[in-house]
Amino acid sequence: MNRSTVWHPFTQHGLEPPMKRIVSAEGAYLIDEDGNRLLDAISSWWVITHGHRHPAIMAAIRAATEAYDQVIFAEFSHEPAERLAGGLIEVAPAGLKHVFYSDSGSTSVEVALKMALGYFHNIGRPRDRIVVMEQSYHGDTIGTMSIGERCVFNAAYEPLLFGVDRLAFPQTGHEQQSLDMFESFCRSGRVAALVIEPLVLGAGGMKIYDAGVLAGLKEIAERHGCLLIADEVMTGWGRTATMFASEQAGITPDILCTSKGLTGGALPLAATLCTSDIFDAHLSTDRRKTFFHSSSYTANPIACAAAVANLNIWRHEPVVERIENLEALHRQKLRRFEGDTRFSNIRQAGTIAALDLVAPASGYLAEAGPRMRRLFRERGLLIRPLGNVIYLMPPYCVTADELGRAYDAIDDVASIVLGSVG
């Protein structure tokens, strides 16, 4: 077999064997070229919500291709984008009034940063500081790498990255430290926005914090006139049990970023929602106040049609009930590891479950990660640990038996890995 010329993401080709090709996907499964059915226990990097190839979404895509391909969105609008924007405003936290489309989670956050800085520039009160939470991840563009944790992910690109102010992660019992740090940063009068993953830091290790912290950060931001940007790329679309994680803090962010589950995972699309104040700061007869951002594929009509179908699934199918059932299954199945010395920090947020393997090394480059990933694959499971952090984030169609298989595999694989280092 000839080696592929494809360069895969987050892959060290010097260590990995040739990639298996996936030939089809259905429900909670990926099927590879050898006919193996792999339970997609991480929703193909957190994007698949209802299951692969949901019939309603596939039908909407096919129908849209009969009328559309790509339409320049700087010159025209179209029905799928208009319907989707209206639907997003309906399901988003109250007070978000405008929708800007882009292509990925990274770009939705990049858009948010530019909206925030543009807002203060256009109202004649420029601010130049961004505050973030340590150990966070917001994407792989230059702007989003700048506001993410500085680590092996972006060390090579350090000369291009801009400086930000970082809050300590709000560890249980030390939440006030994070709030006090944010208050001190805001006193400078230079903070334009706090960018935060609500309730769960995803790629940073599935770190979970209390909704009260998010509410406190929003209160401080309002008091000091700075904006709160909620990066809901991973946490949105029911992953933390509510449509958007921000709802659990009872807040409306000034800007909200969404992607991943926006189309049910079927096609790439992102949206950045904002308040009227931010839109109005860019609304002018002065062309210099235009929001200068775009991409060639902004608001692709076929992707928008998929997202409209996703909204209809939320309206007409028992999605909330499925999420509640999955949440309860995680809670039940995690109990088997309580008091198990092989694991620490057993945790859950809605449909996300995580636990840390007590391995000799931790962090993203921990050798336990790739070893566990290979062992999971041998057992018919797609699970990609973040170093020594094992997590499950399956699509909502997963059954109790299928989820049980994943937990059995975690039990088995942990013993193998720890046995080999003991």
- pTM over cut 0.85: yes
Q: Mean pLDDT across the chain, nearest whole number?
A: 96
Better-scored residue on pLDDT, 39 or 367? 39
Nearest to 413 by CA among 360, 369, 362, 354: 369
Q: Is the dihedral of CA 243, 244, 248, 251 positive or negative?
A: negative
335: DSSP letter: G
End-to-end CA distance of the chain: 38
* Residue among 89, 70, 105 at smallest CA distance from 233: 105
Q: Which region among 6-20, 54-68, 119-133, 175-189 has the lowest average model confidence (pLDDT)? A: 6-20
Length of the chain: 422
**382-403: average pLDDT:** 97
Minimal CA–CA distance to 261: which of 111, 51, 27?
51
CATH superfamily, domain at 320-421 = Aspartate Aminotransferase, domain 1 (3.90.1150.10)
- Residue 255 and residue 231 in contact, taking contact as beta carbons nearer than 8 Å: no
> What's the rounded Cα separation, in Å, for the pair 301 and 312?
16
132 to 129, 147, 184: CA distances (angstroms):
10, 6, 13
Please give the share of the chain, as a percent, with pLDDT higher than 70. 99
The closest of 233, 238, 234 to 255, measured between CA atoms, is: 233
Q: State pLDDT tens for residues 120-179.
A: 999 999 999 999 999 999 999 999 999 999 998 899 999 999 999 999 999 999 999 999
- Above 60 in pLDDT, residue 115? yes
Q: Is the pLDDT of residue 2 over 80?
A: no
Q: Is the pLDDT of residue 1 over 60?
A: no
In the prediction, which pLDDT does 50 show? 98
pLDDT at residue 311 greater than cutoff 80: yes
Q: Rounded to an integer, what distance in angstroms lies between the CA atom of residue 416 and that of residue 197?
A: 34
Q: What are phi and psi of 236, to 5 degrees?
A: -80, 175
Cβ neighbour number for residue 286 with a 10 Å cutoff = 8
Let me know if 264 is exposed, middle or buried by CB neighbors in 10 A (0-12, 13-18, 19+): buried
Give tens-digit pLDDT for 234-252: 999 999 999 999 999 999 9
Selection from 246, 266, 220, 258 nearest residue 395 by Cα: 266
The CA distance from 209 to 179, in Å, is: 13
Q: What is the pLDDT of residues 312-349, one digit of tens each?
A: 999 999 999 999 999 999 999 999 999 999 999 999 99
In angstroms, the Cα distances linking 345 to 172, 206, 232, 354 are 12, 10, 23, 8
Which single residue is written with the structure tokens 């499964």? Answer: 29
Q: By the 8 A CB rule, do 307 and 262 touch?
A: yes
57-316 is classed in which CATH architecture? 3-Layer(aba) Sandwich (3.40)
User: Tell me, what's the pLDDT at 55?
Assistant: 98
Q: Which residues pair with 5 in a beta bridge?
A: none
Q: What is the pLDDT of residue 198?
A: 98
**Residue ranges of domains in the chain:** 57-316, 320-421
In this predicted structure, the answer to whether residue 422 has a pLDDT above a threshold of 50 is: no
Looking at residue 116, its pLDDT comes to 98
> Distance between CA 159 and CA 143 in Å, rounded?
12
Helix then strand then coil, in percent of the chain rounded to 5, is 40, 15, 45
pLDDT of residue 46 exceeding 90, the answer is: yes
